[in-house]
């Protein structure tokens, strides 16, 4: 149960970082902050998908 809560908190923080990165990209005109924000946001979404796929393992 504790591991489940830690996983949910971790996923929540990663989602918050993804939204923050999109905010940075939206406020930047062009250049490194724009592409860095989009890239970091995509990286965070990838981490979230990976964490979700690891959490759905079913023991037979």
Q: Flag whether 49 is in a domain.
A: yes
pLDDT at 7: 84
Q: Flag whether 17 is in a domain.
A: yes
Closest CA to 51 of 2, 9, 20, 1: 9
pLDDT at 33: 86
What domain range includes position 24?
2-55
Give dist(CA 9, CA 7) in Å, integer.
5
**Residue-by-residue pLDDT tens, the chain, 60 positions:** 777 888 888 899 999 999 999 999 898 878 888 899 999 999 999 999 988 888 766 555
Closest CA to 51 of 2, 1, 12: 12
**Burial class of residue 18 in the structure, from the number of CB atoms within 10 Å of its CB (0-12 exposed, 13-18 middle, 19+ buried):** buried
pLDDT at 19: 95
pLDDT at 57: 62
* Number of domains, the chain: 1
């Amino acid at each position: 149960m504790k591991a489940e809560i830690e996983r949910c908190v971790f996923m929540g923080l990663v989602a918050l970082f993804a939204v923050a990165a999109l905010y940075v990209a939206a406020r930047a005109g062009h250049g490194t902050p724009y592409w860095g924000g989009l890239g970091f946001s995509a990286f965070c979404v990838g981490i979230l998908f990976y964490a979700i796929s690891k959490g759905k393992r079913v023991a037979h």
